Structure 1
Amino acid sequence: MKLSSVLSTVNQIEKSKFINFLDRICTEASSHDKQVAKQFKNIDGEIKNAPSGEVTQLFRLAQPLFQREVKSQLALSGAQAALLVNILSRDGNCVARLSWVEHLYEKEWKQIDAQAKSLKSLFEAAEQTEVYDEPKRLGIYYACLYEALHNDERSNREGKITDEERGILNVLAHKLDVTADNRVAIEHLIDPIPKTGVSDCLNQLREIGIAFVSKKHQTVYVPDEIVALLHRIQSKELADKHLLRILRTFSDAELSNILKSHDKRIRGVSRDEKIDTVYKMGLSVSQILSDDMHGEQSGVTEKKERLKTLIEDLQLALDKLGTTLEERCSLIIGALNSSTEHEFNILSATGYKSLFSTLSQHLPQLPKMLKEEFELEPNQDIDVEKLRALAITPYDILFMLSNEQVKSLKSDMGITRRGDPRQVILESFADATDKLVENYEALARRDLAALKQKNIEIAEADIGIKFEEVTKAIFEELGLTVDEDLRRDINTAKDKADILLSLSEDDIIIGEAKTSKKGDFAKYSTTSRQVKAYVTRCEGAGKRVAQVLIVAPSFSNDFVESAEMDTEVNISLLEAAGLKKILEAYKSRRNPKFSAKLFTKGGLLKADLIAKNI
């Protein structure tokens, strides 16, 4: 979830620690940073009373200072905080119930403890030999880490590892080829990580603005922006899902090359085990791409050609390929780090839901696979809204599957088009949405006969939902922001808004999509009660409702008059044929100019006039 969505979800008390931490940083920064000072002045120095949009803007400006302060505080917080941060910054854990976070912590602690005990016996055996092998290297790192932690005690000070010492240890670990999992286990041997106290440690993380804890929902939230910040602090080049995406495109031989480079066993090891081992080693992605994956005899030109093929395998749209090996590696990493928004935009909200539904039909185990891949609760229901909140894109789902599974899916779905199976599957769902957009008016009128003539099979009970989804898709094609995170947050079992369009961090349009089989839509009193309830909930979440927009096949005269005379809320009306006409005009222009403000005029909108002004 984005920071703005988290701020809208939690209450004032639950976001107070983040606000206080940001306030202190901005107060200090205002004396020497003009941009921060200007933004701080705009809210009169009162962050507590500022809307979430302005708080988010202030955070973006102060982010380098925020990151530096968080890094400093984490260095003082001990191994337990480091372990908890590692869990919360992993894919799928940025929104999780407290009980599930505690379960993940306990599971991780047991793994580290078991590995630490295994290493201890390895060190004892290594002392009996002079061979310079992995046990010997790990023993050297253990001795240096022990000294760094305990040298303070000789001066009667509390034993801790300073930033300078940590930097030296990081270089040492790299030179001795000590993998990330072994580093954590060795540190646990010397300075055991507490097995309990997760709740107290979470409160520590709240104090430094990393985590938000909702007592009402018993849920921990770590905003996407904070996750990215934590990755930078951890020197993590890529999110785990993107590293796994890369590893799954490698051949068995390339995976073996990586393992051989670090003296790991390869005989009798399955492909899945190889991927899992490399993933847990915590290697630098740059090192994997530039060196480890390639054969010993591979030259620079051969390595660059292999990375060119990798770019195609990962379906990355790069403006340039880079002239050097290092530049090509950097471009791949940069493209994956900035890919989430692009990957969500590949399919409309409707297309993503259709994709997930179809994949689940052909792969009934898909929800279970997603839970295992992203460490989600076993009893949790998985839907597209949940996946969006966790920043899990359609690409993430398809790259989670093996090449064989994707090819089998393509065949089972009856897709005969040639090309990369993942890309072809995605394009087929984009095409399905286009077909519904073409027949948007028939959908609005619930005209099943007309839809069947166009080979569109929809159950009558599903037409309302499909019309809502296709309306969202049209808004997205017009370049508008359909805010599914906010919609999920403000919706209740009783009040469920169809569409929320974000105009800015704080301004929104509430959209309602209404079908009608009987002709003109005429239920004004019912509709007005609905939208007024949505307005109240949005305002309660700190949003300003600029307009309510109702889309229907057509409206009765009474409905139009009632909407124009309503003094409690601003309502605009738009006929389905008119919205489609606006989209067609938009797509026909070379450089279209469209603003959501064209929907805020009130009353029955003149689609012809809007189309001319695009």
Structure 2
Amino acid sequence: VINDLKNIGVIFYSKKTNTVYVAQEVVKLLREIRGKSIADKHFRRILKQLREPQINLVCKKHNIDWRQPLNTKIDSIINKGISLTNILENEIHKEGTYLNDIKKFINELNEKSFNIPNPTKGVTVEEKIENLIDYFNEMEKEEKVSISMDGYENLLVDLKKNVPKSNDVIRSHFELQDENVMDISYLLEYNLKPRDILEIFQEDMLKDFCERREIKQRGDLISNILDSYMDTENLYLENYENIAFRRLNELKENGIQISDAEIGVKFEDLTKTILQKLGLNVDESLRKQMNTKNDKADIIINIGKNEVIIVECKSVKENGYNKFSSVKRQLKAYFDMAEKNGMKVVKSLLIAPEFSDEFINECELEYELNLSLIQASSLYNILEGFKSSNKEQFPYKLLMRDVLIKEDRILKAIK
């Protein structure tokens, strides 16, 4: 069977690891062949927004026992392959419901339950339902997990501790083959995110979990749990590149509310946090002592023996930072400022989302400032690589060699 599926292009197969891989595009196609407009996990999310009497109407029309617990009824509807469009258009409405009332119901579902952009888009009922389907199919392509990776990892640890047989529930529900499935990397390979996991548990189990973890129970339990695992610092760090590029829309979609005016300071603060996590001595008291009214360095790294590294941060919307002359003037002023305070500047670093070829070329010709350039994405990746190394402090001398810091070389060196 595996050989046949491989030959017609449905799957990839690794003989070495005995593993079958299915591409997302193929998953979507197979879903369409089975008559499913969206993933089962999103279908469940929609059904959970309906009132129980509406779910009962669907059950009665399809010979499903409507006296079962709500979650069991929802699973039965999904497993029967009942059409989402049919449910929203016909099956949850009593006979004689006006067309305008059906449209109003779908508009409210789109707006209040899922905060869909342009919730009233579409004239006919079919177009409005298509708007909902498109929203969830776009969501399927996204990699964001709504909370930080660390938050997701902590959630899985706490579920394992506090919810009996949680591993078995997840494994059985999503038909996963490994014995231990409560691993963040493993679940994300199957595109299973925190909300997808929480939605499969019965309400009484979630209530018990909230009680044990001292999470508020008023309102929506799943939203309350996700909020408590938000871990803002890591969420900001995971969006470090978006902040560097001032991508306000992407930040908003990832749960970060910030104004354009606040981004510059936030980029500096996050850069300090990354450098501190690398074990470097970000010396705030020395920076304040050195800074003047007109010349204010963003970050000073104190490496001892009266030697420092000066770090300048630039967050910009345009691709390819290209203002070398202004940066040169700034850094030269900081060099002079450091020397007046008896400090020797052994290195200067400029961190920006990316740099133009022209900027890099000009930097290569500059010898006085001993300047190196680091892209924001590279700095974040260096931090991630450093976490898995056995070092307590990042060897800063690795930053001394290149004009444009090559993350691959540094990651290889620290490993």
Establish whether TM, by shorter chain, passes 0.5.
yes
Q: Distance in 2 between matches of 1:599 and 1:380?
A: 47
1:593 CA drift (Å): 5.5
2:229 is aligned to 429
- The higher relative CO (CA closer than 8 Å, separation ≥ 6) is in 1
Q: Distance in 2 between matches of 1:362 and 1:374?
A: 20
1:34 is aligned to none
1:271 is aligned to 70
Preserved CA contact (<8 Å) 2:354 2:375? no
1:597 is aligned to 354
2:16 is aligned to 216
Indicate the structure with greater helix content.
Answer: 1
1:349 is aligned to 149
1:284 is aligned to 83
Preserved CA contact (<8 Å) 2:215 2:225? yes
TM-score normalised by length of structure 2: 0.57
- SS of 1:235's partner is coil
Q: In structure 2, give the amino acid aligned to 1:307.
A: I
2:295 is aligned to none
Q: Distance in 2 between matches of 1:425 and 1:353?
A: 13
Preserved CA contact (<8 Å) 2:319 2:355? no
Q: In structure 1, give the amino acid aligned to 2:169.
A: M
Are positions 1:315 and 2:114 aligned together?
yes
- SS of 2:144's partner is helix
- SS of 1:249's partner is coil
Preserved CA contact (<8 Å) 1:211 1:222? yes
2:263 is aligned to none
Cα distance change of structure 1 residues 252 and 596 upon mapping to structure 2, 3 Å threshold: same
Q: Mark the runs of 5 or more structure 2 residues left unpaired by the alignment.
A: 247-273, 283-298, 321-351, 365-369, 378-415
2:26 is aligned to 226
1:416 CA drift (Å): 4.3
Residues 59-81 of structure 1: CA deviation (Å, up to 9, x unaligned): xxxxxxxxxxxxxxxxxxxxxxx
Cα distance change of structure 1 residues 216 and 477 upon mapping to structure 2, 3 Å threshold: farther
Cα distance change of structure 1 residues 329 and 356 upon mapping to structure 2, 3 Å threshold: same
1:275 CA drift (Å): 2.1
1:290 CA drift (Å): 0.7
Q: In structure 1, give the amino acid aligned to 2:240.
A: I
1:606 CA drift (Å): 5.9
Q: Distance in 1 between matches of 2:164 and 2:125?
A: 42
Q: Mark the runs of 5 or more structure 1 residues left unpaired by the alignment.
A: 1-200, 438-469, 481-511, 521-551, 561-574
Residues 208-252 of structure 1: CA deviation (Å, up to 9, x unaligned): 111111111110000112211222333321112222222233332
Q: Distance in 2 between matches of 1:593 and 1:351?
A: 31
Q: Distance in 2 between matches of 1:348 and 1:592?
A: 27
Q: In structure 1, give the amino acid aligned to 2:116.
A: A
Cα distance change of structure 1 residues 513 and 223 upon mapping to structure 2, 3 Å threshold: farther
- SS of 2:170's partner is helix
Cα distance change of structure 1 residues 514 and 593 upon mapping to structure 2, 3 Å threshold: same
Residues 488-514 of structure 1: CA deviation (Å, up to 9, x unaligned): xxxxxxxxxxxxxxxxxxxxxxxx988
- SS of 1:259's partner is helix
Q: Distance in 2 between matches of 1:472 and 1:281?
A: 39
Q: Distance in 1 between matches of 2:143 and 2:108?
A: 20
2:94 pairs with one of 280, 292, 295: 295
1:377 is aligned to 177
Preserved CA contact (<8 Å) 1:248 1:402? no
Alignment of 1:84-233 (within 5 A): 201-233=1-33
Q: Distance in 2 between matches of 1:609 and 1:287?
A: 48
Q: In structure 1, give the amino acid aligned to 2:354.
A: K
Residues 265-286 of structure 1: CA deviation (Å, up to 9, x unaligned): 5464343442232222212111
Preserved CA contact (<8 Å) 2:170 2:181? no
1:362 pairs with one of 162, 167, 176: 162
Are positions 1:235 and 2:35 aligned together?
yes
- Quote the RMSD (CA, aligned, Å): 4.2
Q: Distance in 2 between matches of 1:553 and 1:417?
A: 45
The share of aligned pairs that are identical, in percent, is 24
- Number of residue pairs aligned between Structure 1 and Structure 2: 290
Cα distance change of structure 1 residues 261 and 417 upon mapping to structure 2, 3 Å threshold: closer
Q: In structure 2, give the amino acid aligned to 1:205.
A: L
Preserved CA contact (<8 Å) 1:260 1:266? yes
- SS of 2:88's partner is helix
Are positions 1:305 and 2:62 aligned together?
no
1:298 CA drift (Å): 2.5
- SS of 2:20's partner is strand
Q: In structure 2, give the amino acid aligned to 1:372.
A: S
Cα distance change of structure 1 residues 282 and 383 upon mapping to structure 2, 3 Å threshold: same
Preserved CA contact (<8 Å) 1:355 1:429? yes
Alignment of 1:188-587 (within 5 A): 201-262=1-62, 264-266=63-65, 268-311=67-110, 314-322=113-121, 323-342=123-142, 344-377=144-177, 379-416=179-216, 420-430=220-230, 432-434=231-233, 471-475=237-241, 477-478=243-244, 515=277, 519=281, 554=301, 582=313, 586=315
Preserved CA contact (<8 Å) 2:47 2:55? yes
Q: Distance in 1 between matches of 2:100 and 2:107?
A: 11
Q: Distance in 1 between matches of 2:51 and 2:164?
A: 28
Q: Distance in 2 between matches of 1:342 and 1:213?
A: 25
Q: Distance in 1 between matches of 2:187 and 2:57?
A: 34
Q: Distance in 2 between matches of 1:219 and 1:248?
A: 34
1:332 CA drift (Å): 1.2
Q: Distance in 1 between matches of 2:61 and 2:375?
A: 66
1:320 CA drift (Å): 3.0
